[in-house]
Amino acid sequence: MTVHNEAKIGEIAKTVLMPGDPMRAKYIAENFLEDAKLVNKVRGIYAFTGKYKGVEVTVMGSGMGLPSMGIYCYELYKFYNVENIIRIGSCGANSEEIEILDVILAENSYTESNFAKAMTAEDCHIIGTSGRINEVIKETAKEMNQPIRVGNMCATEYFGPYSDISPEKTQSLPQELNILGIEMESFALFYTANHLGKHAACLATVSDSAYRKRELTADEREKSMNGMITLALEAAIKL
Ligand code: HPA
């Protein structure tokens, strides 16, 4: 038990899937897991532990933004002996070549935030995934015939579509990093995992793009999410 999580030690699996939205965690538990049990509801950040193809997996919301992800993933790794966390979220496109509904697997996460400095006094703004989860996800996607885009992610402190300075900001991101997607959690997850010697990965479905005038229907959003969720679960049970 921690101040933010009432699950008992042992009630959380060694591999955790983290959507940003706690209601998405509930949806995954109800539609993909067997014998799912609600193990946390503090602040509405639901965590469910159940079985996927006989293997125990936990799904838990991370909330939005670096600080929220930072708290929950730290507690999972540090106090609940979690080994692997796979973020399954959404992101904006940062490149003309990225389509709405593409699924991006992050290799590195870049940020302009001082998250790392606040945590460890290190002036770090780019961090890779840690552990072998990415390799397993890539293999699994191939087996499932599911296309994924592999590349770099940027984690911002402000929701891009609401920013007055969004286009200029986007252009000021280091061009050599070839950033494919923009979201708000991956850096906190990767940095914490690296710091604690644990494993992390981030899959994100593209939900918006400054380069495309296309709104997603609820049905499209759900179906695309289902593909990403299945990929994450199939990879999770191999870890
Ligand atoms: N920016 C940041 N986070 C996001 C976005 C975005 O464009 N889309 C979905 N999450």
Distance 72 CA to ligand 1 centre (A): 20
What do you get for the CA distance between the two ends of the chain, in Å? Answer: 25
pLDDT of residue 47: 98
CB 214 within 8 A of CB 121: no
The DSSP 8-state label assigned to residue 171 in this structure reads: H
Closest ligand 1 atom number to CA of residue 90: 9
pLDDT of residue 168: 55
Is pLDDT of 42 > 60? yes
Is pLDDT of 223 > 90? no
Is pLDDT of 230 > 80? yes
pLDDT tens digits for range 79-135: 999 999 999 999 999 999 999 999 999 999 999 999 999 999 999 999 999 889 999
Distance 89 CA to ligand 1 centre (A): 10
Cβ–ligand 1 distance for 207 under 6 Å, the answer: yes
- Give 3-state DSSP helix, strand, coil % of the chain, rounded to 5: 35, 30, 35
In the predicted model, what is the mean pLDDT of residues 126-148?
95
Burial 42-57 (b: 16+ CB within 10 A, else e): eeebbbbbbebeeebb
In single-letter form, the type of residue at position 143 comes to: E
Cβ–ligand 1 distance for 183 under 6 Å, the answer: yes
pLDDT of residue 167: 57
pTM over 0.85: yes
> Directed axis angle between helix 186-196 and helix 66-79, to 10°?
30
In single-letter form, the type of residue at position 168 comes to: E
Which of 100, 159, 180 to mutate to test ligand 1, by most ligand atoms within 8 A of the CB atom?
A: 159
pLDDT of residue 23: 94
Q: Residue 172 — very low, low, confident or very high, per pLDDT cuts 50/70/90?
A: confident
Q: Residue 221 — very low, low, confident or very high, per pLDDT cuts 50/70/90?
A: confident
In the predicted model, what is the mean pLDDT of residues 56-73?
98
The alpha carbons of the chain give a radius of gyration, in whole angstroms, of 17
Q: Residue 170 — very low, low, confident or very high, per pLDDT cuts 50/70/90?
A: low
For β-strands 47-52 and 34-40, DSSP reports them as antiparallel
| Whole-number Å distance between alpha carbons of 229 and 4 | 25
Greater confidence (96 vs 172) lies with 96
pLDDT of residue 169: 57
Distance 35 CA to ligand 1 centre (A): 33
Structure tokens that stand for 225 in this block: 């999410």
In the predicted model, what is the mean pLDDT of residues 65-81?
98
Lowest mean pLDDT among 70-74, 97-101, 133-137, 199-203: 97-101
User: Could you give phi then psi for residue 177, rounded to 5 degrees?
Assistant: -80, -15
Is pLDDT of 26 > 80? yes
pLDDT tens digits for range 155-165: 999 888 888 76
pLDDT of residue 10: 96
Residue 191, CA atoms < 13 Å, CB-side half-sphere: 27
CA 136 to chain centre: 16
Domain 15-236: CATH architecture, name and number where available: 3-Layer(aba) Sandwich (3.40)
Q: Is 219 a catalytic residue?
A: no
